[in-house]
Amino acid sequence: MKKLWMAGATMMVTAAVLAGCGSGKEAANTSPAASAEAQASAPEASVAAAVVKTGMLSPIGKEVSQGNIEIKDGKLMLTNFKTSEGPDLHIYLAKEQDIATGKSLGKIDLKQSEQTFDLAGADPEEYDSVVIYCNKAHVAFGAANLSDGNSADGGTTTSETADTTDTTVAMVKTGMLSPIGKEVSQGNIEIKDGKLMLTNFKTSEGPDLHIYLAKGQDIATGKSLGKIDLKQSEQTFDLAGADPGEYDSVVIYCNKAHVAFGAADLK
């Protein structure tokens, strides 16, 4: 009887151990599922941080602030920045360039061409513009309208799907015209799909102004794309087969007076 009791007790202990192992196995099976759910929800939380928006600052009125804007990973990056001097300049995220309902991201350093500002939790999707504003004088020095840098459906971009033979047409280069000497030509440059687009353009008057693709801003080896209309803020020029990859700058040049009014380095 004693042997039978011991055998029975052993079986009960074994069964209890096996049951415990089975319980642990179920827990192991449920843990990855919970982890998968957590991973699935994580990208949703990081969507705002991954948003990319871009823009190009243009001057407002007599004061001049110029530069390129990129918003990505919770930061606003300001590059190629130049500005007129002013007290207490700030950079704002805004709706329709209205700083009254905008959000200041910090004070501008007048001397730094590259600056980065933390969005501090601001959702870039809620804003459509960036403004450089003097809080003391209540004057805007420059503003940029923002556009989405990512494709809306998350699909591939044109450059990813285009055939290699279309590289020249698909290439995108941008730049910002700055004045040269006493004469002033200002504006934004975008080269895309075989065209050069000139926007937010302002210029001093001059006879026979032309726009050139150039290397090192040397129009002697450059290519004239056509004559400038002094009154039009937006103009488009055909590249006429020119490969934008061969040029690194754009120059506004007066053929009659042999004087450059403005130039932009291309990126």
Question: 51 or 154: whose pLDDT is higher?
Answer: 51
- Higher model confidence: residue 47 or residue 193? 193
- CA contacts within 13 A on the Cβ side of 238: 2
Write out pLDDT tens, residues 168-214: 445 688 999 988 878 889 899 999 888 999 998 999 998 899 999 99
Give the separation between CA 30 and CA 238, rounded to whole angstroms.
62
**For residues 167 and 162, what is the distance between their CA atoms, to the nearest angstrom?**
8
User: Can you give the pLDDT at residue 184?
Assistant: 87
Q: How far apart are CA 226 and CA 208, in angstroms?
A: 10
The C-alpha torsion from 190 through 194 and 196 to 197, rounded to 10°, is -70
What is the token pair recorded at 96? 């329709």
Q: Tens digits of per-residue pLDDT, 59-84?
A: 887 788 889 999 999 999 999 999 98
Domains detected in the chain: 53-148 (2.60.40), 166-265 (no CATH)
Residue type, 141: F
pLDDT of 135 higher than 50: yes
- Which pLDDT belongs to residue 34? 42
Please state the pTM of the whole predicted model: 0.46
> CA 253 to CA 226: how far, in whole Å?
11
For residues 15 and 81, what is the distance between their CA atoms, to the nearest angstrom? 75
CA distance 192 to 141: 28
- DSSP-based three-state secondary structure for 88: coil
Chain segment 236-257, per-residue pLDDT in tens: 999 888 898 899 999 999 999 8
Lookup: tokens for 248: 């690194």
Say which residues have a Cβ less than 8 Å from residue 129's Cβ, sequence separation at least 6. 55, 93, 94, 95, 96, 97, 143, 144, 145, 146
